[in-house]
Amino acid sequence: LPYGKRRGQKKKKTESESLCFQGLQEETMFVPFLLLLFLQQKGHALQLTAPSSLQAIMGEDVTIPCSFTVNNPPINWKFLAITWYFQGKKILHVQNAKVIATDPRVSYTGRAEDGIADLSISNITIMDGGIYKCSILYTPKREEKEIRLDIQATPQINITDRVVVPNKESFLHSLISGFYPVDIDIKWLRDGDILDNVDMEKPQRDLDGTYSVRSSVTITPTKDDRERIFSCRVQHESLTAPLQEDFQLVYGDIPSVHITSQAFKLNVVQELVCSVSGFYPESITVYWFLNDTLLENAKTRRINSSAMESVYPFTPTEQNWGMELRCVVDHVTLTIPHVERLLVQVTDLKAQYKHTIVIFSVMLVGISGALTIVRFLIKQRKKPGRVEPQHAEVMKEWITKPSSSSSSSVTQVKRSLAANAAAKAAYSIASMAPVTPSLAPPSCPEEFPELFDQSVRYMLQGEVQHFESSDDGTQVEDKDSNISPERGVPKKDKKLAVMFPQLQHTARFIQWRGGRG
């Protein structure tokens, strides 16, 4: 063909190829859209299979199953993602055959190409129980399934106390531990017969999440019980059959306890000995306390299998006077520990109570001083009054005046002697009398009490005893007198002497001083 024609044909061919390439490019861009549309249509074929619940025993290795299927195997990792959740938190993720776990005990043990997405947990604990979720993404479809994992723990029985005292109320104790969940049933048996008087404490939660509980039964053992089989039986949901622990009783002896000590002395160390003897079995514990404070430095001396001593070096001080030392003994035969007490008493009371003595001494000094002042004031109020000399002269003049009732048989000389003696006696009585409002005359005899007035007038107006001086100065009694020298009162009026004791004093003064003028 001519050149021009060939050139035109080539131009048409180039335009045709360009249109073909453009159409192919547009068709290529439409392929992903078609692929996504196809996968979306085929994605409904993703199915997930997993149990709704699962049980496991604490300490075991557990596998939580989860599987899936698609309608166009084999499964392509590029479109697959596996995720596990526990209580809403992600614990494991698998994508492009790469595994990421948040706990070293958690692992992926599945095979994605076979549609297995199992989760494994080693050494499972109570805390691992809960809701797990298996999530499968196969683009663009996602399926999820929840599985509840229940953890159980089987109980263990430990007979903690099988020692009893014959014919005495005793207790058998057991500790049931390590079980979960909390509900449990405990029975005590003797030769297969269920016993009464069973007590169970409130279950306690342990650190690992399991529970523990103490149980006891009260019995009064006899010699026939030595050969019998006792049992503690436990029923729990983690057990396929009841768990039972059999045992025989151990007969023990109760210890006797006493403390040996010397007299306490201030700041002087001495050994306190707590002696414990006669016990069985051998295991025993002894503690020392000062009030409620545990004393740490006690030493134990074992004498034999049923006797021992606990020795504590104790130094009495002023701070622990009056405190209580206690030796506390714990033995399986005792329902409660035995306590022996010793009071920290002193031999040096002055050292013990010196502060109290000082205070008490000050109080005594104060009281003694106050009593001295009171006695002084009372004595001042009762201090004997003194009749002034002029008062004595008035008395003498008043007494020696003639009386109309005077007996005419009494001579003037004897009357003068008697009057003189009576005046002296009256002066002496006045000097001895306490100064009181009823007896103290300020100036004249007329203000003296009626008692004194009657006493003196009775002596002068009646028949008085007269005294005369002999050559040797002794007193001579008037034989005609009607006065008793022994009593010094008128014989004819004993009643007056009883009523007025001052009359007796007056007569005695007359006896004593009458002869001396």
pLDDT for the residue numbered 436: 38
Do 402 and 449 fall within a single domain?
Answer: yes
In the predicted model, is pLDDT for residue 354 greater than 50?
yes
Residues in Cβ contact with 117 at an 8 Å cutoff, skipping those fewer than 6 apart: 66, 67, 68, 82, 94, 108, 110, 134, 136
Do 301 and 203 fall within a single domain?
Answer: no
User: Contact at 8 Å (CB) between 83 and 137?
Assistant: yes
What distance in Å separates the CA atoms of residue 294 and residue 494, rounded to the nearest whole number? 85
Task: Tell whether 333 is covered by a domain.
Answer: yes
What distance in Å separates the CA atoms of residue 402 and residue 277, rounded to the nearest whole number? 106
Task: Tell whether 305 is covered by a domain.
Answer: yes
Do 94 and 9 fall within a single domain?
Answer: no
Q: pLDDT-derived band of residue 475, with 50, 70 and 90 as boundaries?
A: very low
In the predicted model, is pLDDT for residue 485 greater than 70?
no
pLDDT for the residue numbered 33: 41
Average pLDDT value for residue range 86-114: 92
Higher pLDDT: 435 or 211? It is 211
Average pLDDT value for residue range 72-96: 91
pLDDT for the residue numbered 195: 96
In the predicted model, is pLDDT for residue 21 greater than 90?
no
Task: Tell whether 110 is covered by a domain.
Answer: yes
In the predicted model, is pLDDT for residue 279 greater than 90?
yes
Higher pLDDT: 13 or 268? It is 268
Q: pLDDT-derived band of residue 496, with 50, 70 and 90 as boundaries?
A: very low
pLDDT for the residue numbered 422: 54
Kindly state the percentage of the chain with pLDDT values over 90: 49
Domain final residue, candidates 134, 151, 168: 151
Task: Tell whether 31 is covered by a domain.
Answer: yes
Average pLDDT value for residue range 39-53: 73
Do 425 and 364 fall within a single domain?
Answer: no
Do 328 and 342 fall within a single domain?
Answer: yes
Do 427 and 503 fall within a single domain?
Answer: yes
Average pLDDT value for residue range 47-60: 95
pLDDT per residue as tens digits for the range 236-248? 999 999 999 999 9
User: Contact at 8 Å (CB) between 316 and 265?
Assistant: yes
Backbone angles phi, psi at 76, to 5 degrees: -100, 120
Higher pLDDT: 426 or 343? It is 343
Task: Tell whether 321 is covered by a domain.
Answer: yes
In the predicted model, is pLDDT for residue 374 greater than 60?
yes
Q: Which span out of 96-100, 105-109, 138-142, 414-418 was modeled with the highest average pLDDT? A: 105-109
Do 331 and 449 fall within a single domain?
Answer: no
In the predicted model, is pLDDT for residue 193 greater than 90?
yes
What distance in Å separates the CA atoms of residue 153 and residue 243, rounded to the nearest whole number? 13
Do 145 and 163 fall within a single domain?
Answer: no
Residues in Cβ contact with 306 at an 8 Å cutoff, skipping those fewer than 6 apart: 253, 277, 278, 279, 280, 282
pLDDT for the residue numbered 364: 78
Burial 89-109 (b: 16+ CB within 10 A, else e): eebbbbeeeeeebeeeebbbe
pLDDT for the residue numbered 453: 54
Do 185 and 140 fall within a single domain?
Answer: no
Q: Which span out of 70-84, 287-301, 405-419 was modeled with the highest average pLDDT? A: 287-301
Task: Tell whether 256 is covered by a domain.
Answer: no
Q: pLDDT-derived band of residue 406, with 50, 70 and 90 as boundaries?
A: very low
In the predicted model, is pLDDT for residue 124 greater than 80?
yes
Domains in the chain, number: 6
Residue 95, CB-side half-sphere exposure with 13 Å CA sphere: 11
Higher pLDDT: 196 or 362? It is 196
Task: Tell whether 338 is covered by a domain.
Answer: yes
Mean pLDDT, all residues of the chain = 76
Strands 53-57 and 141-152 turn out to be: parallel
Higher pLDDT: 454 or 201? It is 201
- What CATH number is associated with residue 291? 2.60.40.10
Do 336 and 363 fall within a single domain?
Answer: no
Do 413 and 493 fall within a single domain?
Answer: yes
Q: Distances in Å between the alpha carbon of 274 and those of 86, 284, 310?
A: 60, 13, 5
pLDDT per residue as tens digits for the range 285-336? 999 999 999 999 899 999 999 999 999 999 999 888 889 999 999 998 998 9
pLDDT for the residue numbered 366: 77
Q: pLDDT-derived band of residue 369, with 50, 70 and 90 as boundaries?
A: confident
Average pLDDT value for residue range 366-394: 63
In the predicted model, is pLDDT for residue 396 greater than 70?
no
* 195: nearest Cα among 241, 239, 251, 249: 249
Please give the structure tokens belonging to residue 413. 């000389």
pLDDT per residue as tens digits for the range 211-258? 999 999 999 999 999 999 999 999 999 999 999 999 999 999 999 999
In the predicted model, is pLDDT for residue 278 greater than 80?
yes
Higher pLDDT: 207 or 369? It is 207
Burial 378-406 (b: 16+ CB within 10 A, else e): eeeeeeebebeeebbebbbebbbeeeeee
pLDDT for the residue numbered 508: 52
What distance in Å separates the CA atoms of residue 91 and residue 202, rounded to the nearest whole number? 36
Average pLDDT value for residue range 379-388: 53
Range of the domain at 8: 3-43
Taken as a whole, the chain contains a residue count of: 517
Do 9 and 24 fall within a single domain?
Answer: yes
pLDDT for the residue numbered 363: 79
Task: Tell whether 371 is covered by a domain.
Answer: yes
In the predicted model, is pLDDT for residue 504 greater than 60?
no
Domain final residue, candidates 132, 151, 170: 151
